[in-house]
Amino acid sequence: MILNRYLFKEILLSFLGTLLVLTLVIVGNSFVRLLADASAGQLPVDLLTESLFYVSTKNLIKLVPIALLIGMMLAFSRLYRDSEMIAMQAAGLSPYRLYHAIFTFVIPLTLVLSILVLYVNPWAESQYQNVRQQVEERPEAAGIPAGVFTTTRSGQGEFTLLAEDIDDNKSTMKRFFVHIRGDDQTETVIWGQSAALFINSVTNERVLEIHNGSRYELNADGSMSLIEFTEHGVSMPLKHNVTTSRISSIPTADLFRNSSKENIVELHWRLAIIISAPLMAFLALPLSHTNPRQGRYSKVSLGILIYAIYANALMSGRNLLEKGSTPDWLGLWWIHLLMLAFIYWLVRHTFGRAK
């Protein structure tokens, strides 16, 4: 029990320190990217903080396994450097007892990671996509600033738009004007007291909804028609299209209920993130084995390299699964089994040699 508590403390402190550093890196990178979007007019400044929170949460959850590997390697490397691990082994402490102490920390962490991956991550992805949709439904996303004529093109022709004013919520345009010059030489002028943008959930197109106005049409033969309306919709081109796959925002329970190809691939991917945590814990102990003369960080780079190879193998396996090159029942399990076989060989090789 004393040994368990001691190792638990060492692993916890190293893990939290590593996770803190990765958090700063992730938040910093996400902030720079989102700030660039805001500077380019693709993201309103008032949604910057909310977007940063959801993006950082998603990315940080995926980095828990590598944070565990690096944290454990730092903890064990210190024990080897200070000859504490050698003293434990000389006292008859076997690798089995060490792993028993390690997993008093890893098992609860894996349970927490399971909740984060299966429930929190889809929620964060869903909330982020809602924010992106809010962006697309704002006038500035369509390039419609207040009081300025703007022109854009789509497959329907050329649009010239003007909104005299935009309300404080950045959602409703007041005294709106649009001129449409069609490719078939027709011209349409629409004026309305107010207008709003929204995304059609079926076609994923931006629709401009104009209220209480008039529509003037000049046909190719020179005739003109006038229509008074209380509500009128016009399809607008998307200036910034949301390309994020919505499969990652589907709740895990829905993935189990609908066994489509996309859902099966996503389910295997979420399980892979969870499984990678105990695998990294198995890997950290033999990979940390050093003699007192070696530096504390001598093998951390090797551990990161092995994790990178494992992560790339998982992504390649996911692509094969999406293409149907591997059966659904096999999923990504073969990659986990290969990694487990490598770790087993490394444990036997390392501790057999250490004796």
- What is the number of residues in the chain? 355
**pTM metric for this prediction:** 0.72
Cα 236 from chain centroid?
A: 28
Joined tokens for residue 45: 């400044």
- Structure confidence at residue 202 (pLDDT): 65
- Structure confidence at residue 240 (pLDDT): 46
- Structure confidence at residue 48 (pLDDT): 83
- Structure confidence at residue 339 (pLDDT): 95
Query: Average pLDDT for consecutive 10-residue bins of the chain (355 residues)?
Result: 78 90 90 80 74 90 92 84 72 73 89 94 89 65 63 69 73 79 77 78 71 82 80 66 65 87 92 94 85 65 92 93 89 94 89 57
- Structure confidence at residue 231 (pLDDT): 85
- Structure confidence at residue 319 (pLDDT): 92
Separation between Cα atoms, residue 164 and residue 157, nearest integer Å: 23
Distances (CA, A) of 140 to 76, 146, 160, 236, 272: 53, 9, 14, 13, 40
